[in-house]
Amino acid sequence: MEYFFAGLVIVLVILIFANVRIVPQATEFVIEFLGKYKTTWGAGLHVKIPFLEKIAKRITLKEQVLDSPPQPVITKDNVTMQIDTVVYFKIFDAKLYTYGVVNPISALENLTATTLRNLVGELELDGTLTSRDTINAKMTAILDEATDQWGMKVNRVELKNIIPPAEIQNAMEKQMKAERERRETLLQAEGHKAAAITRAEGDKQAMILAAEGERDARIARAEGEAKAIFLKKKAEADGITAIKEAGADRAVLEIKRYEALVEMSNGTAAKLIVPTDAINMVSQNAIFTETTGLGDVTKEAPKPKPKPVEDPCCDK
C-alpha cells in the first residue's frame, strides 16, 4: 500500500512538472479547456491542467515582415507591370488571430495583392511610377482596417520593385536621354547668353569709364589753362602795379603800350611804324589815334579766276 501511494505521488509530480510552461517575453499562448477558448497566457510561469487544458497556439508579438513575390498588375492605360510588396505587421490580439481567420498570413498576402491591383488600376503608368508614397499610404490604411478583426496591426506597406515591360523601359530610357540632351542644350544656350550679356556689360562699362576719364582729363587741362592765364594776368597786373609804385611817368607807360602793340602785330603781313619822337607824338590825341592803326594787316592779293572748261559735247 505504501508503494502505491509513493507511486501515485511520483506520477502526480511528473504530471505537474510536465504541465508547467514558461512563456517567453513577447510571446503569448492561447489556452483551450475541453476544446473551448479559456484564456491567454502572457510571459511568465504557468501550469495547465493535464488532459483538460491544452495550448492551442503559440503567438509572437514581435513585428513581422511579409515579403510578397512580384505579381502582374495592369495600370489604367493597359500597361502590365510586375510589382512586389513588403508588409510590416504585428499581432495585438492572440484570440482574434487564432479564431478570426484560417491561415492569417495567407489571408493577408491575398488581401495585399487585391488591394494593390485596385489602387494601381486607377493610375496610369507615369502616375504609378511617381506615386509610391501615395500607394503605400493608401494600402497601409486599407490593410490596417481590414485586419483589425484578425487581431493584426499593419504598420506600413512598401512597394519594393516596380518593373515595367522591356519595351516600356527602352522608351523611358530614350525619353530620359532626350530630356537630358534638351537640358544640356538649354544650359549651353543660357551660358552663351549670360557670357554675351557679361561681355556687353563689360564693354559698356569700359566705354563709360573711358568717357569719364577723357572728361576728367579735359576738365583738368581746362583748369590748368585757366590757372595759367590767371597767373599770367596776375603777373602782368603785379608788374603794372610795381611800375606805378616805382613812380614811372606817362612816357614810360606809353612806351609799354607800344611794346604791347608790337607784340600784338607780330605776324607775317604786319607793318609797324614808330616815330623817333614818340614821347611828343603820344601827347597829342590825333597822332596817338593815327599810330594805333599802324599794325593793320595788309589785304591778300585776289586769287586768279579758274579758266572755263570747254564742254566737248556742246562747244563744238
pLDDT single digits (tens) 295-304: 444 444 455 5
* pTM across the whole model: 0.54
Distance CA 218, CA 112 (A): 88
C-alpha distances (whole Å) from 219 to each of 205, 208, 214 are 21, 16, 9
Is a pLDDT exceeding 70 seen at residue 271? Answer: no
Category of 26 on φ-ψ map: left (φ > 0), alpha (ψ -120 to 50) or beta: left
State mean pLDDT over 32-50: 89
Check residue 273 and give its pLDDT.
53
- Give yes or no for residue 275 having a pLDDT over 70: no
Pick the closest to residue 93 from 55, 61, 53 (CA basis): 61
Amino acid at 2: E
57 pairs with which residues across the strands? 30
Binned at pLDDT 50, 70 and 90, residue 108 comes out as very high
User: In the chain, what percentage of residues exceed pLDDT 70?
Assistant: 76
Instruction: Categorize the per-residue pLDDT at 287 as very low, low, confident or very high, splitting at 50, 70 and 90.
Output: very low
Please report the pLDDT score of residue 110 as a whole number. 93
